Amino acid sequence: MGAPRLILASASPRRRELLNQLGAGYTAEPADIDESQRAGEEASAYVQRMAQEKAQAVAQRFPAPDYVVLAADTTVVLGDTVLGKPRDREEAMAILTSLSGRWHTVLTAVCVSAAGEMDSEVVETRVQFATLSAADCAAYLATSEPWDKAGAYGIQGLGGAFVRTIEGSYTNVVGLPLWETWRLLTAHGIETALTPAAPVAGVAG
């Protein structure tokens, strides 16, 4: 039996770009689940549950042992408040205003479903925003960047100009922490560009 094929349970172009960076071959198959946070659910438990439910939903269509499913979920947390994707301009402006001049936390849960088991990890990065004027926020909201991103900004794009300091994994803030993802995929038999090449049999001399 050959090596399992990797399925990425996400429609995120950022996650595809990061997985491409790892050199892993995969097929993207987004999960369609309810992403509502439960009452009283802590942020770390929420992102982990989301990643696991995404992986589980896609694994039902692409079962082991032929497939390994990779899922992830990212959220931005300010104090005790989870900041999701903005629903409209008013909410996006409120999110950016609340982040201005302050530290916030980005949590990403990475989950691999393989051989009937779930293997997951939550990664935390702290980010400090510069102090933003209303004009700064309005100019950013005039672009297409903020609308499909937790916390209403993309660190890998124009929103990166707002970031003064980062403590932890940069790729975690983008949406897929590469070190943890690489380790999980390798543990479950998925090859990447960092997988050692098989030795070539020599010719006896």
**H-type helices in 103-154, by residue range?**
134-141
Phi, psi of 96 (to 5 degrees): -60, -40
Q: How far apart are CA 29 and CA 199, in angstroms?
A: 34
Catalytic annotation on 73? yes
Q: Are 77 and 83 in contact (CB under 8 A)?
A: yes
What token pair was written down for 48?
């982990």
Instruction: Please state, in angstroms and rounded to a whole number, the distance separating the CA atoms of residues 22 and 39.
Output: 37
β-strands 5-8, 67-78 pairing: parallel
Active-site residue (options: 73, 80, 88, 148): 73
From CA 129, how far away is CA 102, in angstroms rounded?
Answer: 6
- CA-CA distance, 80 to 110, in Å (whole number)? 21
d(CA 200, CA 176): 34
Catalytic annotation, residues: 73
